[in-house]
Amino acid sequence: MAPDLVSLVGGGNDLLRPDASPDRLAQQLEVAVVRLRGEGVDALLATGFDTWGSPMIRRIRPKVAMYNAPIWSIARRNRADVLDAWGMRSLRDWRVWSQDRIHLTEAGHARVAQAALVGLGLEPDPPGWDDPLAPLPPAPRWNARWVRTHWAPWLGRRPLVGRRPHAQAPGPHP
């Protein structure tokens, strides 16, 4: 296959890890973009979304911002386009996120697809694609069922220190 356009969207889950390096992720991204552009393929990069409104993942906001900054520079240096998820007002509403609060719903993906059109310099289908959703009554900041169903199992699969799961012990290996 010889694609005309490749979208490179990633890093969000990586940034949730305590040992995540925005600089290392950006370096890996640029290697991929340089390779694509060298083959004549257009690239669409995406920034991470602003986690400010999330009580659970707000702490990674500085890492996301530190990852987003080089995305714009990588795009400029390599003539790539950028989908600006950080600036999307509609992503601040939890109704566009699935129950795990990490992945988008169908409605969230539809809005991000419109942001991709804008990032590529095209007109979005509906003019109000990024308008905030109609307000709802305030929800509780903590939801015990969500913590039990999604957060605790996710946390249990990840180390709380700067080691990756299943890391091999130092020393000789068979």
- Residue 172 in tokens: 């000789």
Residue-level pLDDT at 50: 93
Helix or strand (DSSP H, E) at 107: helix 106-119
Q: Dihedral sign, CA of 161, 163, 165, 169?
A: negative
Residue-level pLDDT at 42: 98
Domains and CATH numbers, the chain: 5-156 (3.40.50.1110)
Half-sphere exposure in the Cβ direction for 104 (13 Å, CA): 15
Closest CA to 46 of 125, 126, 109, 127: 109
How far apart CA 126 and CA 142 sit, in angstroms, is 34
Q: Is 9 left (phi over 0), alpha (psi -120 to 50) or beta?
A: beta
pLDDT tens profile 60-87 = 999 999 999 999 999 999 999 999 999 9
Residue-level pLDDT at 168: 42
Chunked into runs of 10 residues, the chain (174 residues) has average pLDDT values of 92 90 97 97 97 82 96 98 96 88 91 97 93 79 74 74 46 38
Closest CA to 130 of 64, 49, 56, 55: 49
- Cα 1 versus chain centre, distance: 26
How far apart CA 113 and CA 130 sit, in angstroms, is 11
pLDDT tens profile 122-141 = 999 988 999 998 887 776 66
